[in-house]
Each structure stands twice: as structure tokens, then as C-alpha cells.
Copies of this chain bind each other. A is one copy, B any other.
Amino acid sequence: MDIFNLSSRELGLLIFLAQNRAAEREIEITTTQLANFFHISQQTASRCLLKLNKLEIVTWKSSPKGSLVKLTSDGVYMLDQLRLELEKALHPDLMSIKIRGTITTGKGEGKYYISQPGYMESFKKKLGFKPFLGTLNVKIKSDCIKQLELIRGSWPIIIENFENEERTFGKVLCYPLKIVGLDAKVVGIIPQRTHHPSNVLELISKLNLRDTLNLKDDDEIEIEFPLEYKRESD
């Protein structure tokens, strides 16, 4: 789903909802309120919500007393996506986004997840390499959080969800990156569920990054995200 497939009304509605904190939690709202705000009819507001709901951009519970609306992670992604496009529009000379962060030690979850055969197969197929069984956790510096958000706005390589006997594993979003000073392919991974603001980015590579780069906790590295100037043609 592409932000440019939404009508301007739907986009405006999405922004309005997010500004009213509907990205974090369900908010109460009536179609009449929306209609008044946007100077449209109540029917049109209703139709818009209906469509956003069908597109899985918002979840929506309607009742004769009003509506409860919340953005889905797809909805937030739409906004991130638009933000990246705008960034490229306002800074067409920008070739890459640079992010600084420090090495941190996770709870070993990353290793557990990427070791799952269901993921490993997809990694090999879609990323073109078999990742080292471990992730390098990078805590993004606070003044680079916006850059991380920009990366989220780009079209990721999607590692599909799957399930085994015990449980289900969600989708993983992958972003091809570079570590400044290292030539090897590196990929940032973000589990789809986690659209809550996380300031830790997990990196995978064919190599054991921690050893190769001889990194200790709190060491600082710089990550580079190359921008491409072709938009997905739907």
C-alpha cells in the first residue's frame, strides 16, 4: 500500500487522527466531528473511515454512540513514508541518511529469532546471504531518532511471517544499510509488531559484525542509509 493511493481527504484524515494521538491508542470520535472539522458531510467522513479501515490503515469500532479509532502499524508507515518522500522533495541533493549510535547488548532475542529456519530461508532468498547467527544491537543517539524514522518510511524488504509447532513469528522488515568504514552488506531489521518507538536498531550481516569491527559496548558507529530516487510504480 502506497501513500499516494490515498485521496487527499483520506490523507488529511490520517494526519488528523495521528495528531490526536490515534497512533498510540484508540481515540473516541464521531463522524460528525470529522465532518465539521474538514467541512465535508457526515456521510463522506463515514465513507472515508470505512475505506481506511478496509485498507487496514486504521482499526475502527463503530457503534450508535460513536467510534473508536486507532492507527495500525500500516497507518503509521503511511505517514513515515510520506515524510521520507517530503524529505527527498525538500532536499533532492541528499544521497544518504547518516545515523550514529552506540553498541549495546540485547537480551539475545535477536539471535533466537533469526535462527528460526522459517526466517533463515527468507533471509537467504531475499537478502542474498545467510546471516551470522546473532545481531548487532545499535542504540541510536537521541539526535538521530528522526533519521531512523526516515528509514522506516522507505519500502522495506519484507521477510514473511510463519509459524512452527509452538508459536507464530511475525513479519520482519529489512533495510539495506552500510556501516561507515565497512564494505560488507549490512541489513537493519525491525520486527513489524514493534512500531512503538524503539531506539535500538538490530543489524545483521554475513559476518560477525561485533568481532569483525572489534566492537565493545558503548563504542560508537555510523550507519548510512542510501536514498534512491525512484518511487515504486504501484
Contact = CB atoms under 8 A, between A and B. Distances in A.
Interface of A: 4, 6-8, 10-12, 14-16, 18-21, 23-24, 37-39, 76, 79-80, 82-83, 85-86, 88-90, 92, 143, 146, 149, 229, 231, 233-234
Nearest to A86: B83
27 contacts: A4-B8, A4-B12, A4-B38, A6-B8, A7-B7, A7-B8, A8-B8, A8-B10, A16-B89, A16-B231, A18-B90, A18-B92, A19-B85, A19-B88, A19-B89, A19-B92, A21-B92, A24-B92, A39-B233, A39-B234, A82-B82, A82-B86, A83-B83, A83-B86, A86-B86, A90-B149, A146-B146
B233 A20 contact: no
B15 A89 contact: yes
Give the copy number. 2
Contact of A18 (B16, B79, B89): B89
Contacts of A83: 83, 86, 90
Given A7-B7, A86-B86, A19 B229 contact: yes
Contact of A92 (B23, B80, B89, B233): B23
Contacts of A7: 7-8
A88 B14 CA distance: 12
Given A6-B8, A19-B229, A24-B92, 9 more contacts: A8-B10, A15-B86, A16-B231, A19-B89, A19-B92, A37-B231, A76-B90, A83-B83, A83-B90
4 tightest CB-CB pairs across the interface, nearest first?
A18-B89, A8-B8, A15-B89, A4-B12
Contacts of A82: 82, 86
Contacts of A146: 146
Nearest to A88: B19
A178 B193 CA distance: 39
A88 B17 CA distance: 11
A149 B146 CA distance: 14
